Amino acid sequence: MKKILLFLCLVATATIASATDLWEGSHPVDWSNTLTIGADKFADAQVGQKIVIEFTNATGEVIELHSNGAMLPGTRYEQHLYADQNSMEVFITNGMLTRLKESGMEICGTGFTATKAWYGDGKDNVDENTVWTGYFWMDSWSTLEVAKTSFDGINWSDYKAIRFYSEAGRTDYVINILTKWADDGKLGDQTTMTMT
In whole angstroms, give the CA distance from residue 192 to residue 188: 6
**More confident call, 151 vs 5:** 151
pLDDT band at 17 (very low <50, low <70, confident <90, very high): very low
- Collapsing DSSP states into helix, strand and coil, what is residue 136? coil
pLDDT tens for 44-72 read 999 999 999 999 999 889 999 999 999 99
pTM above 0.75, yes or no: no
**Under 8 Å between Cβ of 99 and 58:** no
In whole angstroms, give the CA distance from residue 133 to residue 150: 11
- Collapsing DSSP states into helix, strand and coil, what is residue 122? coil
User: How many other CB atoms are there within 10 angstroms of residue 107's CB atom?
Assistant: 24
Q: Where are the domains of the chain?
A: 18-133, 156-196
Q: What is the mean pLDDT of the chain?
A: 79
CATH architecture label of 18-133: Sandwich (2.60)
Task: Please state the length of the chain.
Answer: 196
Alpha-helix runs per DSSP H in 49-167: 94-103
